[in-house]
Amino acid sequence: MIMNILKNISLLPHNSFGIDVKTKYFAQYQSIEQLRELLESDILKNEKLLHIGNGSNLLFVSDFQGIILHSEIKFIEIEAETETEIFLRVGSGVIWDDFVNYCVINNYSGAENLSLIPSEVGAAAVQNIGAYGAEISDIIETVETIDIQTLEKQIFTNSECKYDYRTSIFKTDLKGKKIVTSVVFKLSKTPNFNLNYAHLEQEILKNFSEINLANIRATVISIRESKLPNPKITPNAGSFFKNPYISAKTYENLKNNYPIMPYYAVNEELVKIPAAWLIEQCGWKGKSLGRAAVNATQPLVLVNQGNATGKEILALSAEIQKSIKEKFDIDLEMEVEIV
């Protein structure tokens, strides 16, 4: 066999939480042909399989007893274009922010609000990453996959991906069944700015005289860097929890006791409550439990203060969930995947 499958590899470089656990086997591939070769190997047929991106949305609580695969498929090519739109096909292993930067440099509009999100293209499409009033599903045209069992290629349209808040069919019905190999994005060749997110436009105009893609990207990066800890310095996985959705009726009842509770109307029946506000109201902002802690500036982020184990971070998250359930009767769901 040509492909090199490594044994007993540390996952420390492959997760942003800085958890020092090992995997029984680890392999990277640079093409669909190499991926198929791996999937046909005896090891893959007999071992538990986990496919990862850059590990920015994972919490390892123990050594992984199986094989971890990682995509190194890296390309950006023009699939098609019209006078107003361009369709870019992008390999699953491309660093997401490198792709955003490529779009901004070439004046392709649609990805700029998602600047600096730590992910790779394939994992981002699975997760449906989002920030500052935008989601990756807003610009996805199709997602190309390989079936783990049959090795057949299957292309999913945007609607077939069943995108919703931080999820897709690849995290639900097809979890562990498909591997994303490339994504086709539809971007605008003319300015089409998304400035609906609170205060984004004002923040841009504080430092720049005009609104353009580069200035939007620079502003988003500045905001993210001011609010979120750098995982290379303070290990973390970004937002640990999802913002919970509750019924409008439940919100009205809660507002009687918490009149300043912030909210975002999803539709006539549902309201989204900022998880960071709930966590702060329960007194967790900046607090620690052993070597795991809640970030002092953005309580939605849990951090590894130094040599914390995955179990310690998970224990902290459980205490946060418990206190919010007791105080608000709201279930806080984890955005991070526990392995």
Catalytic residue IDs: 166, 239, 335
Residues in the chain: 339
User: What are the phi and psi torsion angles at 115 (to 5°)?
Assistant: -60, 145
CA distance 280 to 191: 38
